[in-house]
Structure 1
Amino acid sequence: MNNTFSDNSQIATVSTFSELVQTNFKGEMNALCWYRNLDGDFNEIVARLSIKGNITEVYPEDLIALQLSEKGNTAREIILNDIQLLTDFGASPSLNLLKCYERDDEFDFISTDVYSFHVDRSPIATDTFLCTYHGAASDIIANSQAEQKILIPEIRTKLKELHDGPDEEFESFLEENYFDLHYQLNQDATPLNLGLGNLWRLAVDHPKQQVLPCIHRAPIENEGEYRLLLIC
């Protein structure tokens, strides 16, 4: 068990997939971790896959078609099993080979890309599941260590200047452009890296959610290294 995770009130650690999906979020806890030390050579899988553009979705049949060593095959079986577990649960997992995500550099005072700390929102009750098998892993932050960017006076002032409409439509403007989903860390904030091989379930902002949504971000990729990420 990873003490960094198990000693954190934001996170509950579990030892099975069943626990991961059946444990309820409560209080400050809005992230669940199925903590795993995975065997297998995930680097071999990444090396044998072909990337098209910055993001390529990898399907089970793509994995099955690879000629792999014993350790590479072990890694493949782990990924295929994770995909099957999530699919049987009713989720729609996507395995992505990533060079990088698209950047949002339209404004110098606020960003809405996934490299910015943000929360996910859904109109229906759902959660975000993710696992990084290879490459840089995502970060999360406690809600108490970050502030919604639209509440920061200087940013809010600039957003009001950007909004070309009546004052009563300003909040809708913020939501429609996803500005309200993004957060700025406090000076003493300490992000937590999600690590490799762990399968995470993160709370999403939706009408039935009982806890605050989990603030997270995609990592800056390591130079010359692809990420292999399962997400849904």
Structure 2
Amino acid sequence: MTNLSLTKHQIQSVKNFKDLITTPFVEEVNAMCWERNLIGNFSEIIEKVTLNGNIAELHPEELRALQLSEQGQLAREILLNDLQILKVHGASPILNIIKNYERDDASPFFPTDVYSFHVDRSPIPTDTFLCTYVGESSEILPNSQAIQKVLVPEIRVKLKKLYGGKEGEGFESFLSEFFFDLHYQAKLNAKPIPLGVGNLWKLAIDHPESKVLPCLHRAPKEKTGQSRLLLIC
């Protein structure tokens, strides 16, 4: 379980899915958690799926076709239900088995992969939902414990060189076009918060009508030989 008491100003706990989707973000709260102790063998589902590559999307029809033990069936029903309730809500959930994500090695001083603390952005009002069922969980970071990377002086100097022009309106558009402005650097002594296994989260994102700061989050470093089972939308 996640220790929400340490971050009560940023995280709000709710008791069910209805509260998760209907409770608005206000003031400092930009992460909402429906804490759950799930039953069933979710690892069995990973074992039954052949992973061709680093990431595989698991569709409902594929889930239903798996031959599972009683505990595996319990896990499957939870996954199917989570997918369904989010779809009814209007979201587009994806269930992934993840060995590891692709890393951004093109810009060693400024990687823009999901292992970097970042925020999500949308032109329309929406939220990010995610749940880790197996493996290391995603992490969030209080906004006060990070600085936007494009504002770090030494990084900004390198970005200007990469842009090849003077700082101005064009430079800011460049930062946005290549998603540099979405990434953050943790401050000294920052304390990332693991989201835990089984909990369904709603995270605030950057959109025109948002009244709160977007939630900083990142993918965890996977353990060798252990795949993750993650729902995200």
Question: Superposition pairs for residues 170-209 of structure 1, below 5 Å?
Answer: 170-209=171-210
8 Å Cα contact 2:20-2:34 kept in structure 1: yes
Secondary structure class of the residue paired with 1:12: strand
Instruction: Name the CA distance, whole Å, in 2 between partners of 1:54 and 1:102.
Output: 8
Task: Tell me the equivalent position of 2:43.
Answer: 43
Secondary structure class of the residue paired with 2:202: strand
Pairwise CA distance, 1:185: 0.5
8 Å Cα contact 1:122-1:205 kept in structure 2: yes
Pairwise CA distance, 1:188: 1.5
Task: Tell me the equivalent position of 2:230.
Answer: 229
Task: Tell me the equivalent position of 1:96.
Answer: 96
Pairwise CA distance, 1:6: 4.1
Secondary structure class of the residue paired with 1:130: strand
Task: Tell me the equivalent position of 2:163.
Answer: 163
Question: Superposition pairs for residues 1-40 of structure 1, below 5 Å?
Answer: 4-8=3-7, 9-40=9-40
Secondary structure class of the residue paired with 2:57: strand
Please tell me the residue identity of whatever aligns with 2:225: G
Question: Superposition pairs for residues 36-115 of structure 1, below 5 Å?
Answer: 36-115=36-115
Instruction: Name the CA distance, whole Å, in 1 between partners of 2:188 and 2:98.
Output: 30
Secondary structure class of the residue paired with 1:50: coil
CA deviation vs aligned residue, 1:196-226 (integer Å, no higher than 9, x gap): 0000000000000000000000001111011
CA deviation vs aligned residue, 1:58-82 (integer Å, no higher than 9, x gap): 0001110011111110000000000
Root-mean-square deviation (CA), in Å? Answer: 1.1
8 Å Cα contact 1:38-1:197 kept in structure 2: yes
8 Å Cα contact 1:10-1:31 kept in structure 2: yes
Please tell me the residue identity of whatever aligns with 1:5: L
Secondary structure class of the residue paired with 2:20: helix
8 Å Cα contact 1:203-1:213 kept in structure 2: yes
Instruction: Name the CA distance, whole Å, in 2 between partners of 1:77 and 1:127.
Output: 24
Gapped regions of structure 2 (runs ≥ 5): none
Instruction: Name the CA distance, whole Å, in 1 between partners of 2:150 and 2:30.
Output: 22
CA deviation vs aligned residue, 1:90-120 (integer Å, no higher than 9, x gap): 0000000111111001122111000000000
8 Å Cα contact 1:6-1:13 kept in structure 2: no
Instruction: Name the CA distance, whole Å, in 2 between partners of 1:132 and 1:141.
Output: 17
Instruction: Name the CA distance, whole Å, in 2 between partners of 1:51 and 1:13.
Output: 34
Please tell me the residue identity of whatever aligns with 1:21: I
8 Å Cα contact 2:2-2:196 kept in structure 1: no
Instruction: Name the CA distance, whole Å, in 1 between partners of 2:134 and 2:28.
Output: 29
Secondary structure class of the residue paired with 2:118: coil
Secondary structure class of the residue paired with 1:56: strand
8 Å Cα contact 1:120-1:204 kept in structure 2: yes
TM-score scaled to structure 2, two decimals?
0.97
Task: Tell me the equivalent position of 2:128.
Answer: 128
- 2:192 equivalent to 1:213: no
Instruction: Name the CA distance, whole Å, in 1 between partners of 2:186 and 2:63.
Output: 38
Instruction: Name the CA distance, whole Å, in 2 between partners of 1:67 and 1:196.
Output: 24
Instruction: Name the CA distance, whole Å, in 2 between partners of 1:45 and 1:108.
Output: 36
